[in-house]
A and B are shown apart, each in its own frame.
Chain A
Amino acid sequence: MMQIYTITVLVNDQPGVLHRVTGLFSRRGFNIDSMSVGASEEIGLSRMTIVSSGDEWVIDQIEKQMNKLIDVIQLTVER
């Protein structure tokens, strides 16, 4: 069943990190409904808030594939 999810990701504030994340979404055919990126409370880390939609399989894959990115420090999904 299609649902809307909010994914919050703490990432290393490195050049190219946005590309890594969005590239993963486009390569695997996942949706980005909206996205915002900004500094986090910890120096050197940025927070991305991504609203995505898909079924249970899609969100499971997004979570697992994102967690494989070395620059992803922490990821939470609001279901």
Chain B
Amino acid sequence: MKFKKLIAVFLAAAMVCGTCACGSSVEGTEKDVDAAASESTDTGSSAVAGESEGFPLAEPVTISVFAIQLSSVVDLEQNTVFQELEEYTNVNLDLTLVPYDGASEKLNLMLASGEYPDIIMGCYLLSSQDLEKYGTEEQILIPLNDLIEEYGIHIKERWAEHPNWKDEMTSSDGSIYGIPTADSGGEGHSDCSYKMWINTEWLDAVGMDMPQTTDEFRDVLMAFKNDDPNDNGIMDEIPLTGATNTWSADPYLFLLNAFGYFDTNYYYLKDGVVNSILDKDYVKEGLKYVHDLYENGLIDPAAFTQDESQMSAVGNNADTIIAGAATCGHVGMFLDINNSERYNQYEIMMPLEGTDGYIGIPYRKSATVNGASFVITDKCQNPEIAIQIADLFCDEEWSVRALVGKQSDSWDLADEGTYGMDGVTPAKYKYLLFNTMVDANQSVDKWDNTLRLLEPNWKNLFAVEGDIMDATNYEARLYADTVKLKAYAADADTIPPLTYAGDDSTTFSQLSTAIKDYASNAIVEFITGTRDIDNGWDSYLADLNRLGYQDMIELVQKTYDAR
């Protein structure tokens, strides 16, 4: 009996597997037929499409697309931006969707296997090295120069606004292989990310003014620590906190800049000369200062190890405020911006003046672009249609549609006499619905970073209404804060995206990875005192030399000069 049962189970299993196999193979052949059919319509319609420029196309065309499915967006097929795009263009977009994490591995695999779609899109997906590899070397990507010349109306508008962009998009062989992302024209609050947020009520409580020098800042932190500014009778105050491995939240980034130029490229450009940072004496001075703060318990020891969410747990601590100041790219990383009482207490602190009178903060002076977020492969039968789709996202209309939502639903035309973020530009739109932290639903009417290309500065066209400290005006507040920092912009030039030729590319990435690893560790060791600054400095310099810090600087200089 048992044997029969067993046989039955095996048979049943085999049958199920068999039907599955049949099912999938039938499906497969059907798909092949479909693909063949659409290919034949493609070739038929491309002639028509060529005649009638612009959307919607007279005849539908199928274009296959590699795209990233973001978890914050509903399935792309159900997303109204995607549906409207298909409707508007009369192009049937055949999607290959990959998850955000692992997208570049998957892309490399597909490109290596020779089975890839017509268009590849995804914000910041391809680096300039990828463009060199798949464009210049392997010729998988097609050059877009002529296509942009003929069809890229809006792309050319953006080039006119930012003359440097065309060069930055051009690979070493003179071809343009992809269109990069420029969030709202690449301008806005991320021009300066080394920001310090300080609690002004605490400043009042300890009776001190906004600190302007490193010494004053030290006194303020000391007072935060000892004078019980949150008035609960317990010494639970954390004078300064931060986080690591996130957007510019390491406390030393802001503080070291009080002594001289410092950023995590570990080099900077000034009048055509690439300068080193890590081996400078001012870094040593700065580290001594930060170490002194740390020694006196003025910096949260967790700041060098915790991640963003742990930092925000400190900032959002229930009932009582326990953090006096925090470093992070935007204050929403540190606290819930909807908690208006607390959100209002933290103000941006201006860069500090160091002991030798230096003052400055790294500030991006012109918007740059690099890599690509949209490329066309050699499989594409209708590149002129593909480039026109890309061109749509280099304009206001579709950028606003994809990132804000539907008109009269999420936004509408602005009222007379209202102004954008800079307070000068007359507003064109206004927000009706603004996503703040409380919304955990997947977006249906927007698609976030699914595709963003060379955008005009559309954020500045949205009216800022009411108090700038409202959570709904968060971006405007950040922008206003960032503009204040502009006066302190460090005396360094923005480094254009550099394309390292051939082997230099590997050499550079090896050198910079090793140095970044070593430097970020060494800095924390110096600050926390596991390594003595005076005694350890020479061996630190020797290590930098051994890791090829000077070679890296020379390589950057060489590539910059050859540009």
Partners in one complex: no
A residues with a Cβ closer than 8 A to B are none
